[in-house]
Amino acid sequence: MRYRLTFMAGLGVGYVLGARAGHERYEQMKKTAREFAQNPAVRNAAESAAQSGREMAGKALHVVSDRVGDRMPDAVAERVRSLRERSQGGGDDWGTSNT
């Protein structure tokens, strides 16, 4: 209950402060966020994090499938085999780079 009350108080304070700032401040924050997202350093960092995530997901797939082995239901085992074959083919099915 305490957390709910704290959340509601924070929500109310945020609403009041946001209403006082008005539409102009909202547009200014939106522009700043857009500029931040389009910054080359930010885009490179995001792409690097995404690539690391894809690599870790591929490694996790192999580790889990090796440890679980024959204890998986047939449908799951078939899906894992197909994912493993795809990843060994060099294709990246976890996502693509836009940069």
Between helices 40-68 and 74-88, what is the axis angle to 10°? 130
Closest residue by Cα to residue 66 from 87, 81, 52: 81
Per-position pLDDT tens, the chain of length 99: 778 889 899 888 888 777 777 878 778 888 998 999 999 999 999 999 999 988 898 888 778 777 776 677 788 778 877 877 776 665 554 555 555
- Whole-angstrom Cα distance, residue 35 to residue 38? 5
Nearest residue to 68 via CA among 77, 55, 78, 59: 77
pLDDT at residue 44 in the model: 94
C-alpha 93/C-alpha 86 separation (Å) is: 8
Q: What is the pLDDT of residue 89?
A: 61
Q: In this structure, what token pair is assigned to residue 25?
A: 């401040």
Q: What global pTM score does this model have?
A: 0.45
pLDDT for 2 equals 75
Q: What is the gyration radius of the CA atoms in the chain, in angstroms?
A: 23
Instruction: Describe the chain by its helix, strand, coil percentages, rounded to 5.
Output: 85, 0, 15
